[in-house]
Amino acid sequence: MTYQAPDLTILPRHPVIAGGKAGEGGGETVPHIYPATGQVTREVRLASVADVDTAVAAARKAFPAWRALPGDQRRNLMFKLAALIEQNSQQLALLSTIENGSVVAATAYLGWDGAQKFRYFGGWADKIEGRTVSTWTGPAHDYVSYEPYGVVGAIIPWNGPMFAATMVAAPVLAAGNCIVVKAPDIAPWSIMRLGELFIEAGFPEGVFNIVTGGADIGAAMVAHPDIDKIQFVGSGPTAKKVLRSAAETLKPCGLELGGKSAVIVFADADLQDAAKRGLSGAISANGQGCVNGTRLLVERPIYDQYLQMLGAMAGHIPVGDPLDKGTVLGPVISQAALTRIQGVVDTAVRQGGRLIAGGERLGGERAEGFFLPVTIVADVGNDAEIAQHEVFGPVLTVTPFDSEDEVVALANGTEYGLGGYIHTQNLRRAHSVASRLDAGMIHVNGAGEGMTPCAPFGGVKQSGYGRLGGEDGLKEFLRVKNVWVNLANPAAAR
C-alpha cells in the first residue's frame, strides 16, 4: 500500500496566539508523530508558563470591551468566523487527519460542524435575557441578570481537538467571556489554524488566545488566579487533578470526561441497522471517542445471529491510509496506546472472552503505523476490565441479556454515565429504558447523530458534569446575579 504523504506545508507554525498576535512558544521543542507511519512530521515548539501569563493577561484586558460589545456585533463576528471556517474546511480536515490519524472521510465534516456551532451560539449572543422575580416582602422590584464569568480556560484533548475547541469556544464567546485554549501538544495543528482564523475574522485582540502544550501548561491555567472558570475535556484521572488544583482558588469547573457507553440491542430491532451502527463505536475517531458505544448488550434470542452479522461486517471495514477517502478506520494515536489496547484485549480473551474479529496489529505495509483492525470480544462478563474501563481503541465487547431489567442493570453497571444507545422498534420500551439509564445522552436507533450544537451534551457519575451544547451549554458560561430594588416610600417608613 502506498501512503499519501501529508502536505506539511499547510502546518501552522505558531503555537501561541495571545492578544491577537501569533508567535513562537517559550517552552520545549517536541517531535510530532504521524500515527499512520510512526514518522515525525515536524518539531513543535510548545508554550511556556510565561506564555500562559501573557495569554491570560491579554484575555483579561480584552474582557471589559468584549463584554460590553452589543450582542449583535458579537453575533456578526461569530458569523464571519463561521464563514471562514467553512471556506477553510478542506485544510482543517487535512490538519485534523495529520495531527491524530483520524480518517479524512470523517474529518471532512469538521469545518461544517464548527461553522454550525458558531452560527448557533452566535444567534444566542443578542438574546441573553434576564427575568423578574415576584416579591412578597414588600414593594420592590427584583430581577435576575445573566453575566459572563470573565476569562475561561479551556483544556482540549488530542482525540478531537477541532470538534472540542469549537464546542467550548462558541458558547464561551457568545456569553461575553474571553478564552484561553490549551491545544494538545501531540495534536496541535487544527486549533493553531483556528486561532489564525479568529485573527482573520477581525476579533478584538485578546478575545481568543491559544497556548500549545502538555500537562504543565494545563496545570498553570487551572492554578492561574486570573482565569475565572475551567472547562476541561479529557480523562477522569486528570480531571481529579484539575479539581484539586481549582479548589485552591474555588474556581468552578466544567468536566466532559470519559465513557463506557452501552449499546442495547433488543430482539425486535432492525438487526442490519443495529449491527452497522454498533460497529460505529469501534470506528468513530478510530475508536478513540469518549461517547462511543463500546459495550454491546444483545438480547439472547438474537445473540448468535447478531455476532455473525457483526463479525462479517467487521471483516470488510477498510483499514489504512487516513488520507485516502476510501479508508474507514485509521491508526490509534501512538505505539504506547496500541500496546496498551492489545494488552487489554489479550487479558479479556485469557479470562474467557471469545475473539470474533481482529485482535492483532496489522503488519506488512502497515507495520510502521499504529493500526489495529476492528476487534470484537464476545461473551464478556460485565465485571471484566474490558467492560468496565475505557479501552480507547477500535474494540467492542458483546454480552447477552435476557430481560429489560437485566439490561438496564448491566448498562448502568459501570462508573461512567456519558452515552447510551437503544435499538428497538417498540417506542414504549425505548422511552422506558431511556428514562432508566444513568447517562447524559441517549440515542434511540442512532449512533451519534444527536450531537448537534442545539442539544445539550455531557455526562453523569465519572463522566463529569456540566453541559456543552444548546441553551444549557450557553448557561454554563453565564453566572447569575440577583438585584432587589426597594420601591417603598422612604417618607412613609419614618
Q: What are the residue numbers of the active site?
A: 182, 256, 290, 390
Residues in the chain: 494
Long-range contacts, stretch 156-159, CB < 8 angstroms, 24+ apart: 156/181, 156/182, 156/183, 156/184, 156/191, 156/233, 157/184, 157/233, 157/234, 158/99, 158/100, 158/184, 158/186, 158/187, 158/333, 159/100, 159/187, 159/285, 159/288, 159/289, 159/290, 159/333, 159/392
β 229-233/151-155 pair status: parallel
CB 280 within 8 A of CB 328: no
List the grid coordinates of 463.
463522566
Q: How many alpha carbons lie under 13 Å from residue 490 in its C-beta half-sphere?
A: 1
* Residue in 481, 486, 485, 487 with CA at minimum distance from that of residue 144: 481
CB 50 within 8 A of CB 85: no
Tell me the three state secondary structure of residue 98.
helix
Distance from C-alpha of 77 to C-alpha of 170, rounded to nearest angstrom: 11
CB 266 within 8 A of CB 426: yes
Distance from C-alpha of 81 to C-alpha of 77, rounded to nearest angstrom: 6
Cross-strand partners of 464: 256
Amino acid at 429: R
List the grid coordinates of 216.
504543565
